Amino acid sequence: MKKILIAIALLFFSAFSAQAKDAKETTYERIMRTGVIRCGYIGYEPGLTKDLTTGAFGGIFYDLISEIAKRLSLKVEMTVESSWGNVDQDMRTGKADIMCMPAWSYLPYLRGKLVTSNPVYYNAVGIYVRKGDERFTNKLSAINDPSVTIEAIDATISQDIAREDYPKAKVHSSIQGTDYTYNVINLLAKKSDVTFVDPDFAERFLAKQKEKGELVNIAKDKPVRLFGVGFLLPMGEVELEQMINMSIEALHNEGFIEKLLQKYEASPGSLIRVAPGYQLHSPQKGS
């Protein structure tokens, strides 16, 4: 009987050892073991920029992940330039641990395979028309008309807004991956009547083109959409998600992120702030 029990114990031990050996190392465990956070990225100002001459990175999310890594005694490596169609695959195949660029908490982008961190800031989505076009001022419902053409990009928020909010309007849509710059260019060229972009982006474009004031955001006081903007993370990596979220919260509370936003935003307030945690949890007056 004793020999049988020993044999069973050895069998279970062998099975457990094999299972432990085959257990896949999590992204968090790999980061802690190697001391390196490997970043994928897609360039999008002001969140993540890359100087084509020097190769130097900058922007809100690069500075932020660099600060997070420094405080955790880790290093950052920018390992792969990705695309919106490949971000989940690049993380799943180990080319990157996280995506160190701004990502909206927008479900079609995430596709049930990705998650965003706690927001670093919020992006509003405005409704832009040419200056002097008064058809839609104080009457956004007038956009929902067959005579109106909306400038959009396939499989993006601009196309979704057009379909969901203004289904009667025509849509001039570019292929997925087209830069939003072309939406604004086509609107200015009168190829379309309306487009949807975030105000920070619009201000940057107009300033560079020296055409500031030629477009008007007719939804300035009430954005058509609002999204939290955070790091893009692989689904199921709970420890990694907690590490990044705790770091973001701490740097919000210290004022580090506020300084980054002031440094990089196109104009004061073009990036919407996250309410401090102590305000969210403070008791209401009279309670």
The predicted structure's pLDDT at residue 285: 53
Which of 13-27, 108-122, 259-273 has maximum average pLDDT?
259-273
Q: What pLDDT shows up at residue 278?
A: 67
- Rounded to 5°, angle at Cα 35 from 33 and 37: 110
How far is residue 280's CA from residue 237's CA, in Å, rounded to a whole number? 26
> Are 95 and 161 within one domain?
no
**Better-scored residue on pLDDT, 29 or 205:** 29
70 lies in the same domain as 202: no
Q: Is the pLDDT of residue 6 over 90?
A: no
Instruction: Tell me the average pLDDT of the chain.
Output: 88
Q: Is the pLDDT of residue 33 over 70?
A: yes
How many Cβ atoms from other residues are within 10 Å of residue 104's Cβ? Answer: 22
Q: Is residue 131 one of the residues assigned to a domain?
A: yes
Q: Stretch 46-62: mean pLDDT, rounded? A: 96
We report the CATH number of the domain holding residue 33 as 3.40.190.10
Please report, as a single letter, which amino acid is at residue 63: D
Are residues 133 and 215 part of one domain?
yes
Q: Do residues 137 and 218 share a domain?
A: yes
221 and 261 in a single domain? The answer is no
**Do 245 and 110 sit in the same domain of this protein?**
yes
The residue with tokens 């969210």 is 280
Q: Are residues 71 and 128 in the same domain?
A: no
Q: Is the pLDDT of residue 148 over 90?
A: yes
Average pLDDT over residues 214-220: 92
How far is Cα 169 from Cα 186, in angstroms, rounded to an integer? 16
Q: Is residue 154 part of a domain?
A: yes
Residues 117 and 259 in one domain: yes
Residues 174 and 86 in one domain: no
Residue 15 domain-assigned? Answer: no
In-domain check, residue 165 = yes
Residue 8 is assigned to a structural domain of this protein = no
Pairing of strands 149-153, 170-174: parallel
* 153, pLDDT greater than 50: yes
Q: Does residue 287 carry a pLDDT above 50?
A: no
Residue 100 in domain: yes
Identify the pLDDT of residue 35.
98
Q: Are residues 238 and 218 in the same domain?
A: no
Cα–Cα distance for residue pair 126/106, rounded to 1 Å: 16
Residue 81 clears pLDDT 50, i.e. is over it: yes
Is there a domain that residue 4 lies in?
Answer: no
- Overall number of domains in the chain: 2
Specify whether 237 is located in the same domain as 218: no
Parent domain of 155: 123-226
Q: Is 80 exceeded by the pLDDT of residue 109? A: no
- Residue pair 143/230 in contact (Cβ under 8 Å)? The answer is no
Whether 177 and 239 map to the same domain: the answer is no
Spatial separation of the C-alpha atoms in residues 141 and 150, rounded to whole Å: 13
CB count within 10 Å of CB 238 equals 11
pLDDT for 282: 53
With respect to residue 284, please indicate whether it lies within any of the assigned structural domains.
no
